[in-house]
Structure 1
Amino acid sequence: MRKTSWALCAAAAGAAVAVLAVPTITTDRSHGDTAITSISVNDGRPVLLGPQKATTFPLVVEARDDSGIRAVDPVGVWGPNYGVLRVGPMRCTPSSATASVCRGTVTVDPVKKQIFNDEAGTWFVDLQVKANDGDRYVAKTAGGFSLKRAAKLSGSGVPAKAAKGQRITVQGWLARSFWTDNRFHGYADGVAYLQFRPAGSHRWKTVAKAVSSASGTVRATIPVTGPGDFQWYSAGDKWTGDAVSQEMAVALR
């Protein structure tokens, strides 16, 4: 196991391993009328993490109790394969006599090895909400969100001019971030769609589908139907973000 489990204070994993302080969720149980009315991570959008740049995203918890909310603490987020990330201090602002909105942020830096490739996927918020009268709400899965490996797509092979009906081969490269070595590498077996937008239109239409090779290459051969733009698009999956290539224009000759 690469990371320590939740603990009330910093825990040592052995004399040769550095001490790692992580957020803690106690084994306390909920009691009283304290409740969460809503929870949002990154405004409901997936967190797309590249190979090098640190990303900070918001966590917002709305809670209520007949005595009012005192704090959201402890709090943390956890994911697959013992993934654990810190949540900054939650600052609670009363919205009424019984309810509060509590806000904090989570920062993850792949360069500092705070996350690994196999920890992409569905993550959860683990927290304790404390009320002024001593009531509390405790949940290990108070809210879920997606933390994905960022992807990118490039395209090539579209001529500047082509005859109507001429068949062209459009290539692309689908890659995703590797948090292990902090680089983008080709993504094998990913699905990408070649799309075309006729000149004067705002709507893209899928004209071909391709599955990436071991190196991340995608390729499709299609006829030119008129002037316009091509692009590659990948919707991603549970572990990988979506991506779109640059637009590639073609004119008729």
Structure 2
Amino acid sequence: MRIRATLGVVTGALALSAVSVPAAQADEISGDTTISNISVNGGKAVVVGSTTYKRITISFTVKDDSGVENAMALPYYGTDLDHADSAALPNTSDYYSVCTAVDSTTANCKATYDFTPGENAINSVAGTWKLWVLASGKDGDYVQKENARSFKVQRLSKLTVNASPEPVKKGKTLTVTGKLTRANWDANKYSGYAGQYVKLQFRKKTDTSYTTVKTIKTNSYGDLKTTVTASVDGYYRYSYVGNSATPAVSAAGDFVDVQ
């Protein structure tokens, strides 16, 4: 198995410079070692706020007829691990996953990883990440997967709404304002999300679900503003469907008393 001397990926304050991994960029298999049951953050997107790191768990199962020697998993953003724009190291002293034997041939392996705003989480790497995984058996067999699993790393989004005036007479005009923001990892704050289509939704006081009234677009500051005609008591909210880099979000409903 060919080994790199070092992996040098620097993003912000993160430097992956002490991890030795196989030199080949494509998948490699030698012998009967297998990797299965890969789970990244329980199957959910990794959503990171503006200032606080997000810790996740990556787990998988390794099997080899001779027994499991060790395993390592590295999440990264880029075409391949050699050309990654960012990555996350396991929170273990040797960067290997912690493997617990199930029986003489099988082990469950896992480790935790931190995604930190301004370090390995910067705005340009929000979106689809990949998972590089290596596992080896006690007889020297091994398997390497360049992209064993893909997953989303997203900038936490927030959405507000305010309908006024309150109360309002039936048939009069209501103005509904709001703002869509998302974590700005580069600046450690929340910034307005411009040019996004957002649904204005309404739920009657006696109903349990919302219906879409209209769709509008955020301005250059992430602001929302539109008008509707007041008809019955109910709740107004804005709702955003999200994208690969930003999770879906809905504002809490703002109740309007129509008199």
TM more than 0.5? yes
| Cα separation, partners in 2 of 1:76 and 1:227, compared to 1, 3 Å | same
- 1:220 and 1:22 map into 2 onto residues whose CA distance is 54
Say whether the 8 Å CA contact 1:77–1:87 is kept in structure 2: no
Say whether the 8 Å CA contact 1:191–1:211 is kept in structure 2: yes
- 1:164 and 1:45 map into 2 onto residues whose CA distance is 44
Say whether the 8 Å CA contact 2:165–2:175 is kept in structure 1: no
Tell me the number of residue pairs that the alignment of Structure 1 and Structure 2 aligns.
243
Q: TM-score, normalised by structure 1?
A: 0.86
Q: Which runs of 5+ in 2 are unaligned?
A: 79-83
Question: What residue identity is the alignment partner of 1:84?
Answer: A
Matched, 1:160 2:166: yes
Corresponding residue SS for 2:139 = coil
| Cα separation, partners in 2 of 1:49 and 1:22, compared to 1, 3 Å | farther
CA RMSD of aligned residues (A): 2.5
Fraction of identical pairs, as percent: 25
Corresponding residue SS for 2:88 = strand
Partner of 1:79: 77
Q: Which runs of 5+ in 1 are unaligned?
A: 1-5
Question: What residue identity is the alignment partner of 1:235?
Answer: V
Question: What residue identity is the alignment partner of 1:72?
Answer: A
Say whether the 8 Å CA contact 1:194–1:206 is kept in structure 2: yes
1:90-239 → structure 2 map (5 Å cutoff): 90-111=97-118, 113-239=119-245
| Cα separation, partners in 2 of 1:24 and 1:201, compared to 1, 3 Å | farther
Question: What residue identity is the alignment partner of 2:23?
Answer: T
| Cα separation, partners in 2 of 1:234 and 1:72, compared to 1, 3 Å | same
Q: How far 1:198 sits from its partner (Å)? A: 1.4
Corresponding residue SS for 2:42 = helix
Question: What residue identity is the alignment partner of 1:61?
Answer: F
Deviation per residue, 1:130-189 (Å, 9 max, x gap): 122221110110111100111111112333322333331211111111111111111111
Partner of 2:49: 50
Say whether the 8 Å CA contact 2:128–2:151 is kept in structure 1: yes
Q: How far 1:24 sits from its partner (Å)? A: 4.4
| Cα separation, partners in 2 of 1:151 and 1:8, compared to 1, 3 Å | farther
Say whether the 8 Å CA contact 1:152–1:175 is kept in structure 2: yes
| Cα separation, partners in 2 of 1:8 and 1:126, compared to 1, 3 Å | farther
Q: How far 1:214 sits from its partner (Å)? A: 0.7
- 1:42 and 1:242 map into 2 onto residues whose CA distance is 18
Partner of 2:36: 37
Q: TM-score, normalised by structure 2?
A: 0.84
- 2:161 and 2:215 map into 1 onto residues whose CA distance is 14
Q: How far 1:223 sits from its partner (Å)? A: 2.2
Partner of 2:81: none
